[in-house]
């Protein structure tokens, strides 16, 4: 058995889950609704507030799908009940960000500002406190979409290893290198 796939999922308060005949899982909660198309071989059973994912055989493909769909459904339940959040820091002199609606206007040391359009599922807030690096807080109910948007923003100016300047996750640790004078 897959260690992840055989774990049961407990539904949070106020969350409902249903499966369509086309094997699409719909999870509804206080923060919104998420949909996920499942493989035709994987089955989902709901008994009270316990959700279990089953596979038909021990084929490698079925084992892989078993753990995958269990994780996806668990993330959907957490997303519609609590939501997900990622924080990015802009480290560098003159680096700043401003959020207007679904756009982030960032000054990242280039000759021009970068305007990043957010998908409708993701909301952002920018904060700037004197003495600290400006931050961008991203929130969404869809974990995959949130991670993809955060990675795209980070890729605009990745942190460099000498001074640590760039866009980084708040919990990211940058391995620093010594400069030229330390090498002699």
Please list the pLDDT of the chain residue by residue as tens digits (184 residues).
468 888 999 998 999 999 999 999 999 999 999 999 999 999 999 998 999 999 999 999 998 899 999 999 999 999 999 999 999 999 999 999 999 999 999 999 999 999 999 999 999 999 999 999 999 999 999 999 999 999 999 999 999 999 999 999 999 999 999 888 765 5
* Phi, psi (rounded to 5 degrees) for 151: -65, -35
Q: How far apart are CA 27 and CA 173, in angstroms?
A: 35
What CATH class has 9-81?
Answer: alpha beta
Portions of the chain given CATH number 3.90.930.12? 9-81, 84-169
CATH number of 84-169: 3.90.930.12
Say if CB 157 and CB 168 are below 8 A apart. no
């Amino acid at each position: 058995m897959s260690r992840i796939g055989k774990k049961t999922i407990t539904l949070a308060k106020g969350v409902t889950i249903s499966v369509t005949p086309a094997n699409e899982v719909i999870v509804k909660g206080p923060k919104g609704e998420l949909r996920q198309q499942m493989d035709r071989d994987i089955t989902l059973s709901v008994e009270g507030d316990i959700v279990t994912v089953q596979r038909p055989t021990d084929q490698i493909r079925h084992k892989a799908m078993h753990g995958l769909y269990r994780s996806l459904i668990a993330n959907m339940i957490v997303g519609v009940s609590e939501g997900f959040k990622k924080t990015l820091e802009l480290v560098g002199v003159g680096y700043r960000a401003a959020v207007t609606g679904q756009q982030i206007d960032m000054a990242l040391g280039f000759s021009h500002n970068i305007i990043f359009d957010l998908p409708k599922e993701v909301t952002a807030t920018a904060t700037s406190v004197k003495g600290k690096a400006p931050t961008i807080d991203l929130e969404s109910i869809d974990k995959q979409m949130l991670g993809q948007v955060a990675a795209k923003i980070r890729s605009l100016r990745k942190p460099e290893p000498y001074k640590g300047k760039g866009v980084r996750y708040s919990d990211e640790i940058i391995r620093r290198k010594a400069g030229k004078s330390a090498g002699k």
